[in-house]
Amino acid sequence: MHKNDGQDLPVEPQRRALMKSLGAVGLWAASPSSAPATPTPIDTTHGPAVRIEAGRLNQLAAEFFPVFNHGNVLPDFDATAHGARYSVELRRLTTYTLVPETGERVKVSGLLAIPAGVRGPLPVVSWQHGTILSFDQVPSNLTRLGDPGYQPSDAGDSLETLFNLQRLAGQGFAVIAADYLGKGPFRDGRVEAYAVREATVTTCLDMLQAGTSALHQLGHTRSHLFLNGWSQGGLNTQWLAQALKDRKIPVSAAAAQSPFNNLVDSVRYWTGQLPVPDAATYPAVANWAVLCLIVVLGSYRSYYRLPDLFKTAIKPQYHEFAEAYWQSYQLTAADLAKAPGSVGDLLVEGLLERYTGPTNSAFIAQLGRNISTYQSYDFPFRFYYGLADEALHPSMMGLALASAGSKATGIAVPRASHRATFLASLYGSDSQTAGMDNVLNWFTRIKDRA
């Protein structure tokens, strides 16, 4: 769940399923080092390849590095140390997902990135992107880079996906990324399923299936399966990890950056109702969390059938603002004049403290059922979290780490904001990541050890 650096709500557009059948499990169920059987045909297509040269990937990573490197937590991008070894081929994936909460069969999109020229088995990273407070800043839209004149931007593209492509696909990993339900070119007016567990898991599973099937069609097999996700995508990665574990699908390792493990505590923290030991000195909660909270409420209203949730959970003076934002993901100057002064001012008094109505109780109960804090993992899992994160206090990581089991590790990134934590997880040295490997080096070590 992320947005721009500042505390002010911006006027411009913001930055930001059940498997087809249990038989699909066979596509991944082989041991990580073995080639999977021929995939069962699924209703999946992939577009033509768009080739992005390694030099351009490096140039774009260097250009946008400062946008994420808040406080200069990391040294500047260094092409010698961080440069891509491979050019990358991008393809837009399309498949269908069955939405558990509604029973609808929906067309969804995603991205497949393959290191150019590599033959045979490939390690695969399932990448779960962070919050995009727009409808089209999705991973698959990076296929627009096929136009040499296209200039990506923070306001128009999924830059965190771009960093994953440069850092992981550029070093020999295939990357598969879902655009998420209600996002991308096949949205067709559908609202997103933000922090809606089963719809999200199903979409990610089906896109992983689609990407793996496309890899097979292109002459590749999978050697390893890794998971990676930031912010909202960190939560989604934890959900996906549990789903894969339940289906006995091997995962070599997983990483999550700034994950919102506990949705109830996240809302409490954003609204100033979660006590923290250093409240007076810790960075203030970013005002863009107001927008994230509206999207949570809108998604739960739609997918969990809570039609009056805005009326019962949001103060009357902000109903119009919330509805306008939920419909368009845009803010005009007139909209901003109606915005709450802080995240804590949005919700009705007592919502998180006492019974305030049946719909509000149902909302909080569902948030609780979607918590990922108390999951345990039977494969290595690393949690990167910042010590100056404007959306997630470090103390919120404790229970998740305590319950995750012996294979989970917490990595505190000094001075890191929400975005800088993500950047450090991919590009950081030992000094920035508590003496531990960054995600690329860690995944590579596990891959090469097999």
CA 90 to mean position of chain CA atoms: 19
CA atoms of 389 and 108, how far apart (whole Å): 32
Q: Which two tokens mark 405?
A: 């089991």
**For the chain, what is the largest distance between any 2 Cα atoms, rounded to a whole number of angstroms?**
60
For residue 177, the model assigns a pLDDT of: 98
Residue 419, token pair as written in the block: 């975005």
pLDDT score recorded for residue 42:
55
Tell me what pLDDT residue 44 has. Answer: 74
Strand partners, 98: 18, 105
- Report the residue count for the chain: 450
pLDDT for res 130 = 97
Q: Looking at domain 22-262+372-449, which CATH architecture does it have?
A: 3-Layer(aba) Sandwich (3.40)
For residue 284, give the nearest of 269, 264, 263, 303 by alpha carbon. 269
Strand-pair category, 105-115 with 88-98: antiparallel
DSSP label at 40?
A: P
**Confidence at residue 390, expressed as pLDDT on a 0 to 100 scale:** 97
Measured in degrees and rounded to the nearest 5, phi and psi for residue 418 equal -60, -50
Q: How far apart are CA 446 and CA 31, in angstroms?
A: 14
Strands 88-98 and 50-52: antiparallel
- Using CA atoms, how far residue 392 sits from 88, 242, 271, 300, 373, in Å, is 33, 22, 12, 21, 14
Domain residue limits, the chain: 22-262+372-449, 266-369
Distance (Å, whole) CA 77 – CA 79: 6
The DSSP result for 192-260, as a single string, is P-TT-HHHHHHHHHHHHHHHHHHHHHTT--EEEEEEEEETHHHHHHHHHHHHHHHTT---SEEEEES--
pTM: 0.91
DSSP 302-349: HHTT-TTHHHHHB-GGGHHHHHHHHHHS---HHHHTTS-SSGGGSBPT
Distance of CA 196 to the CA centre of its chain: 13
Which amino acid does the sequence have at 190?
Answer: R
For residue 195, give the nearest of 157, 251, 236 by alpha carbon: 236
DSSP-based three-state secondary structure for 367: helix
**How many Å apart are CA 381 and CA 403, to the nearest integer?**
12
- Residue 120, phi then psi, degrees to nearest 5: 80, -155
pLDDT tens-digit profile, the chain (450 residues): 443 333 333 333 333 332 232 223 334 333 333 333 333 435 778 888 999 999 999 999 999 999 999 999 999 999 999 999 999 999 999 999 999 999 999 999 999 999 999 998 999 999 999 999 999 999 999 999 999 999 999 999 999 999 999 999 999 999 999 999 999 999 999 999 999 999 999 999 999 999 999 999 999 999 999 999 999 999 999 999 999 999 999 999 999 999 999 999 999 999 999 999 999 999 999 999 999 999 999 999 999 999 999 999 999 999 999 999 999 999 888 888 899 999 999 999 999 999 999 999 999 999 999 999 999 999 999 999 999 999 999 999 999 999 999 999 999 999 999 999 999 999 999 989 999 999 999 999 999 996
Distance between CA atoms of residues 296 and 164, nearest Å: 26
Would you report the helix, strand and coil content of the chain in percent, each value rounded to 5?
Answer: 40, 15, 45
